[in-house]
Amino acid sequence: MDEPVAVIGASMTQFGQREAWIQELLAEAGAACLEDAGVPPADVEHVYAANMASGEFEGQGGVMNALAHDLGLLPAYSQRVDQTSSSGGAGIYAAWQSVASGASEMTLLVGGEKMTHRTTGEATDVIASITHPAEYKHGVTLPSFAGMTARHYLETHDAPRESLAKVAVKNHQHGVDNPNAQFQKEVDEATVLESPIVADPLRLYDFCPITDGSAALLLCPESVAREYTEEYAVISGVAGATDTHVVHQREDPTRMGGVIESSDRAYEMAGIGPEDVDVAELHDMFTILEFLQMEGLGFAEAGEAWQHVEAGRTERDGELPINTSGGLKSKGHPLGASGVAQAVELYEQLVGEAGPRQVEADVGLACNVGGFGNCVITTILESGGEAA
Amino acid sequence: MSDDRAPPATASWDQEPLVATRYESGAIACPGHPLGPEGTQPVGTVDLAEHTAQVVTWTTSTATPPGVREPNHLAIVEFEVEGRSVRVLGQLTTGEVETGDEVRPIYVEELREPGVGIKDADGPQAWDGYRFEPVE
């Protein structure tokens, strides 16, 4: 099918520490999304639940089936999508495929995770279990990969440590205006630089929090979208790519191959380049990842992303606003939800519903990263209908 | 030291720690994989334990999972073997290192406490390996 795939509804729950369990979180965002789009449950033909580890976190499997039943979507086809912390992006890819292939005319995607009932150590171990056994036995964690990579970046490119802190300051500043963000408060550079060391040289405020929450999107062919709404977004590019499972087997620790490959394909599909992107949501699980994705996506030359951040070009009123939602850093990172929530922010920006976070944008890009760049999905959204 | 024994037929994590896999292409990787770069076959092994390496980058992790020492000093180090670079991740014996330092492998029976985290103590996960110690 050559017809573009549209997004006609979007929602996210409050991110943070929630009493609700995964099944309730998924249903909450899913129901809100259907209501946002004005689409009755009976119209949904496919439903995807993006989730990394409900079994490991709370012993709950079959979340896609639970979601379909809880929202009255039966007998819609249902499927769980797991691609570690890029599960949400992978869910977008799966949902897009379901519509683009002609298999479904109305597809609901809900991404979610319930994590905060676990201790930080337990949650860290669940996430670290995605590493190769030869890495896991050393007690390596995703934050420790970030520490090693940040040191290499700063030493190789002679970048100041303060430039990483500026990413955290910026994204916290953006998150103040996101009512669903886990943290809606500013932090200053000194607070970031004086916070406790987590993985030298990175400190507490260089890392995203552990979060509960969910987010949802509703996809359909553009011709169907026009039956429901005059303003929508179109997925003009979406692609995924995989890098090494063993992180140290990458030639350059600061080059994110999955970001480069997936964005090259997404740009080609959309017929645009990085210079055409108006707003971007990047996977700032760690501050250093925002630099590496900016460079992998072509927003900056290798080793120069820090200069753009220092110059304020990625702030809300800058040339290329990055993470207007607050990013994972401030908004929170419920693993399976994050990739979907990135697209929710872009959708709101493109249809003019972002409120105080609103920027002028016709083209938005989301980069969702699994592991430490092991799997990456890049999605490009553009304004559609009267929003265009 | 090069070894022309047949490559391991089992999963890579069953290999002896610090035994790297050499592929038809000449590439060497530790841990090895059933197929190497561009799908090339493994043709032998290389024991890295008797070599020294250079620190590429390092960190000290202070937020460690259950069963892992705290703080946990970690590094990516690079061996030069048979004209090839081979990178390995491992624990350090100390946090007193700098990028570029020379280190040697020191065998440790348990790098983390088995069975305390998400993986079973008697499952396929190996728990022994090498830490890297600065060469004075």
Across-strand partners of B2? B46
Q: How many angstroms separate the CA atoms of A302 and A281, rounded?
A: 19
Q: How many angstroms separate the CA atoms of A42 and B119, rounded?
A: 42
Structure-block tokens of residue B84 = 């090839």
Per-block mean pLDDT, blocks of 10 residues, chain B (136 long):
46 68 93 91 94 98 96 98 95 98 96 94 94 95
A137 touches chain B (CB under 8 A): yes
The fold for domain A5-118+210-228 equals Peroxisomal Thiolase; Chain A, domain 1 (3.40.47)
Average pLDDT value for residue range A34-40:
97
What angle separates helix A335-350 from helix A87-100, to the nearest 10 degrees?
Answer: 60
Give the pLDDT confidence score for residue B11 in this predicted structure: 41
Q: Contact B61/A149, CB-based, under 8 Å?
A: no
The secondary element (H helix, E strand) that includes residue A385 is: strand A375-385
Number of neighbours of residue B102 by Cβ within 10 angstroms: 15
Of B29, B74, B91, the CB nearest to A249: B29
Probe site for chain B from A57, A120, A140, A251 (most B CB atoms < 10 A): A140
Claim: this prediction has a pTM higher than 0.90: yes
DSSP E strand stretches across B4-136: 19-23, 28-29, 42-47, 53-61, 72-81, 84-92, 102-108, 129-134
User: For residue A118, how far is the Cα from the chain centroid?
Assistant: 22
pLDDT digits (tens, 9 = 90+) for A155-206: 999 999 999 999 999 999 999 999 999 999 999 999 999 999 999 999 999 9
Q: How many angstroms separate the CA atoms of A7 and A288, rounded?
A: 31
Number of neighbours of residue A48 by Cβ within 10 angstroms: 31
% of chain A with per-residue pLDDT over 90: 98
Helix ranges, chain A (H): 22-37, 54-58, 63-70, 87-100, 120-128, 133-136, 142-157, 161-175, 189-194, 222-228, 257-270, 287-296, 305-310, 327-331, 335-350
Domain ranges of chain A: 5-118+210-228
Assign A332 a pLDDT band (cuts: 50, 70, 90): very high
Number of neighbours of residue B122 by Cβ within 10 angstroms: 8
Nearest Cα of chain B lies from the Cα of A144 at a distance, in angstroms, of 6
A249 touches chain B (CB under 8 A): yes
Q: Contact A121/B66, CB-based, under 8 Å?
A: yes
Of A136, A140, A151, the CB nearest to B57: A151
Give every CB contact of residue A311 below 8 A, 6+ residues apart in sequence.
none
Structure-block tokens of residue B101 = 């330092």
Give the dihedral of Cα atoms A8, A14, A19, A21; nearest 10 deg: 30
Q: How many CB pairs under 8 A join A and B?
A: 128
Q: Contact B125/A249, CB-based, under 8 Å?
A: no
Q: Contact A139/B90, CB-based, under 8 Å?
A: no
Q: Contact B62/A198, CB-based, under 8 Å?
A: yes
pLDDT digits (tens, 9 = 90+) for A51-79: 999 999 999 999 999 999 999 999 999 99
- In chain A, the residue whose alpha carbon lies closest to the alpha carbon of B114 is A137
Show the CA angle centred on residue A350, arms to residues A165 and A46, nearest 5°: 105
Q: Contact A126/B118, CB-based, under 8 Å?
A: yes
pLDDT digits (tens, 9 = 90+) for A172-183: 999 999 999 999
**Which residues of A are less than 8 Å from B105 in CB distance?**
none
Average pLDDT over chain A reads 97
Helix/strand number for chain A, H first, E second = 15, 11
**Which residues of A are less than 8 Å from B60 in CB distance?**
147, 197, 199-200
The pairing of strands A363-370 and A279-281 is parallel
Of B60, B87, B90, the CB nearest to A249: B87
pLDDT digits (tens, 9 = 90+) for A104-145: 999 999 999 999 999 999 999 999 999 999 999 999 999 999
